[in-house]
Amino acid sequence: MCYFASINVPTDSFEPTMSIGTFSLPALPYAYDALEPSISAQIMELHHSKHHQTYVTNLNNALKTYAAALSANDVPSQIALQAAIKFNGGGHINHSLFWENLSPASSPDADPASAPELTAEIAKTWGSLDKFKEAMGKALLGIQGSGWGWLVKEGNGLRIVTTKDQDPVVGGEVPVFGIDMWEHAYYLQYLNGKAAYVDNIWKVINWKTAEQRFKGDREDAFKILKASL
Amino acid sequence: MPIPPSMASSLLRTAPALRAGLRARAAKPLAAMASTSFVRGKATLPDLPYDYGALEPYISGKIMELHHAKHHQTYVNGFNAATEAIAEAQAKGDAKSAAAQAPLLNFHGGGHINHSLFWENLAPNGKGGGGEPDGKLLTAINQDFGSFDNLKKQTNAALAGIQGSGWAWLVKDKASGNLTIVTRANQDPVTGNYEPLLGIDAWEHAYYLQYQNRKAEYFSAIWDVINWGTVAKRFGN
């Protein structure tokens, strides 16, 4: 998880006074009701102010405990904390990327035309934007349990990947956009009808953000995280 | 066998409702079975042993209806589709296609098993649900957890610790007879050396319409509708 390296930790000593970055909940770039009718305001408010906040809170707690374990050279405790860091850190990363890759449907950003280079690469890879959406939809609906679907750039090519629970995309890939398939992302509005949620989320994808991420590198995609430190 | 032996045995061993579902379809005339002789009778959605609203206010009627009529039904359908696909692949000697069904068989078969067990280990409060275990079961709980309160605390901690979708189970170790708490991801069923006694569904669809993100409140409330009679029966009183 290379972006954690950006946390300002002195490398010459692990005194208890070391400074540990504390993450905070990033503000949504639009109002809670701005994605209606695709995603209800109630879902957005709970999802952002409760679920995402919980990941941030638990990540900060895990990192604080981890720092203490580091300074005590307590390797078993460091290992025991990995799962909590991955889950809560992943939750923070995934949601931070997600909010930014959504947009009110009325915005020009929600028009695939605002991603000319990305949509050209999508057409090259899948044949057409519709065929890509079909493939992505199939991947999303095939997730067993909680997880995410991502369009990622790997090298110069595009790929659809799914990740379980809050596992973040932290290989070499650049996350172009993500779609949250946890039930809390849609259940209050769509109940068990997750296919309808997948259909409707295409109307609120922020293609402008997607284009920027596609043209940039991992550092660019993850700058939102540094901003929330 | 289209179904791995461990899953087949747990299907037949643990869920009377499942057996009933299988028997109902297997009873159709042999002539009708001939063209699909590899299909051993389809799984069907078992009836709930109480009304959808019967677990209120602990679990809302709307949650129960969606959970049973929609979610469980989807697992039943997916399980039947997977077993049929495996049987067809087997008939063609197509091991690759059969193996490709394994995750679907585990997920949907597990979902069918887990929910069938879950409905039976719940009951309306005051009508078989809630209260405390007694008899040999309580003795075993006291021995393995210290107290009934500790069992609840440990179970709730296990439930809260699930990262994503999953279940927590009170299980009996078949070799030692000891009780313990285990969690399973997604719809992975309890198999192998553990006998499932009590399952609690920690998927968001099990509580979200009523409790939203306050899942600890759901974990606390569900003890008011646990059917200890079912748990004791599974334990072997």
* Model confidence pLDDT, tens digit, residues B97-111: 999 999 999 999 999
Task: State whether A184 and B209 contact (CB < 8 Å).
Answer: no
ipTM of this predicted complex? Answer: 0.89
Please report residues of A whose CB lies closer than 8 A to that of B209: 187-188, 191
pLDDT bucket at A82, cuts 50 / 70 / 90: very high
Which candidate from B74, B187, B205 shows the least CB-CB separation from A183? B205
- Which one of 3.55.40.20, 3.40.50.620, 3.40.50.20, 2.30.40.10 gives the CATH number of domain B135-235? 3.55.40.20
Task: State whether B209 and A188 contact (CB < 8 Å).
Answer: yes
The amino acid present at A30, given as its one-letter code, is: Y
**Structural domain contains residue A31:** no
Q: What pTM does this model have? A: 0.87
Spatial distance between the Cα atoms of A175 and A217, rounded to a whole number of angstroms: 9
Spatial distance between the Cα atoms of B225 and B237, rounded to a whole number of angstroms: 20
Which candidate from A54, A87, A184 shows the least CB-CB separation from B208? A184
Domain range summary for chain B, segments of one domain joined by +:
5-37+60-120, 135-235
DSSP-derived 3-state class of residue A118: helix
* Model confidence pLDDT, tens digit, residues B18-52: 444 443 343 333 333 333 444 468 999 999 999 99
Could you give the count of Cα atoms lying within 13 Å of B200 in the half-sphere of its Cβ? Answer: 30
Tell which CATH architecture fits domain B5-37+60-120: Orthogonal Bundle (1.10)
The Cβ of residue B32 has, within 10 Å, a number of other Cβ atoms equal to 8
**Structural domain contains residue A128:** yes
- Nearest CA distance, A88 vs chain B (angstrom): 9
Provide the pairing of β-strand B166-173 with A157-164: unpaired
**Structural domain contains residue A209:** yes
List the domain range (segments joined by +) for residue A57.
39-229
Task: State whether A51 and B66 contact (CB < 8 Å).
Answer: no
**Structural domain contains residue A27:** no
**Structural domain contains residue A166:** yes
Q: Which residues of A86-101 are buried (b: 16+ CB within 10 A; e: fewer)?
A: bbbbbbbbbbbbbbbb
State residue A225's pLDDT score: 76
Residue of A nearest to B73 (CA): A192
The CATH number covering residue A95 comes to 3.55.40.20
Query: CA quadruple B209, B211, B213, B219: dihedral positive or negative?
Result: negative
Domain count within chain A: 1
Spatial distance between the Cα atoms of A222 and A3, rounded to a whole number of angstroms: 7
Residue of A nearest to B68 (CA): A192
